[in-house]
Amino acid sequence: MGPLDTNDRSLGHSLGGALEAALGWWAEAGVDIAFVDAPQDWLAAGPPAPAGKAAPALPPVEPKPLRVTVQPTAIPAIAEDRSAWPEKLDDFSPWWLSEPSLAPRGAKRLLPHGPQSAPLMVLVPMPGEDDGEVLLSGRTGKLLDAMLCAMGLDPATVYRASALPARIALPDWAGLGTAGLGAVLKRHVSLVRPQRMLVFGRSDISALLGHDLAHNAHHLRTLNHENGSVPAGFEYDLETLLTKPGWKAGVWQRWLDGAAATVGSE
């Protein structure tokens, strides 16, 4: 047998093995019948029934019961003992890390950070998915830093906070507000005493604070806290702005409008 015959035989074995492996892969995927590309008329009438014999009737379709989504149980009260709430900003961080009702056990909590009486307090619903050990240190934080620089603010002078200390799946913001998280947020703002606020996550935070018109949160101009109120802008969350960069123009325009309104009220 010459070299050409040997090569032909090896090629046949390798091709056969490849075909066998491919068929085996499709079989494991559940495809064990052949398909054709020819169009089929699925609405065409079937073949006529034999003379003298009626076609069998289809069995009746029994109605399926409606599936109702059961509301989750009420969220337990959050930090119910207000006598233990921090009275100073320096005491807020250790309490934020230790209060058990603020986050599920074992959840990774991130601290707020920034100076007291900051020119701006930035609030997000919860830590970003790619935040490391510092709040707003991931992609959303980089976007925020770029926005702050464009606004003429030094990022180091901005106080950064989240309504929740840890990232959780699908929070019930209205339920959390009823359970007391909105009151915790107001205490936090009153301790920081910022000159102005920028809230990213307008529908989430507005629901947490009990605003009736969450979908009109763009038109809210203040955030009320325990000791008064602070000028505030309510925007889409930073993760949404990352995926829809065209929306940043609206954020910028509302920031300018808010700045003008603040100057005009002084």
Q: Any idea which fold 82-265 has?
A: Uracil-DNA Glycosylase, subunit E (3.40.470)
Long-range CB contacts for residues 235-238, cutoff 8 Å, separation at least 24: 235/198, 235/199, 235/200, 235/201, 235/202, 236/200, 236/201, 236/202, 237/124, 237/125, 237/200, 237/201, 237/202, 237/204, 238/124, 238/128, 238/140, 238/143, 238/144, 238/200
- The structure's pTM equals 0.70
228-235 vs 222-225, strand pairing mode: antiparallel
Sheet strand arrangement including 159-162: 159-162, 121-124, 197-200, 228-235, 222-225
Q: Identity (one letter) of the amino acid at 131?
A: D
Q: Identity (one letter) of the amino acid at 248?
A: K
pLDDT tens per residue across span 149-196: 999 999 999 999 999 999 999 899 999 999 999 999 999 999 999 999
Please state, in angstroms and rounded to a whole number, the distance separating the CA atoms of residues 152 and 112: 22
Residue pair 225/123 in contact (Cβ under 8 Å)? The answer is no
The predicted structure's pLDDT at residue 70: 41
Residue pair 192/161 in contact (Cβ under 8 Å)? The answer is yes
The predicted structure's pLDDT at residue 20: 74
Residue pair 79/176 in contact (Cβ under 8 Å)? The answer is no
The predicted structure's pLDDT at residue 258: 77
Report residue 61's pLDDT band, with 50, 70 and 90 as the boundaries: low
Q: Identity (one letter) of the amino acid at 110?
A: L
pLDDT tens per residue across span 204-241: 998 998 865 444 555 568 899 999 999 999 999 999 99
> What proportion of the chain, given as a percentage, has pLDDT over 70?
66
The predicted structure's pLDDT at residue 154: 96
Long-range CB contacts for residues 230-234, cutoff 8 Å, separation at least 24: 230/121, 230/189, 230/194, 230/195, 230/196, 230/197, 231/195, 231/196, 231/197, 231/258, 231/261, 231/262, 232/196, 232/197, 232/198, 232/199, 233/197, 233/198, 233/199, 233/258, 234/199, 234/202, 234/205, 234/206
The CB density around residue 14, as the number of other CB atoms within 10 Å, is: 10
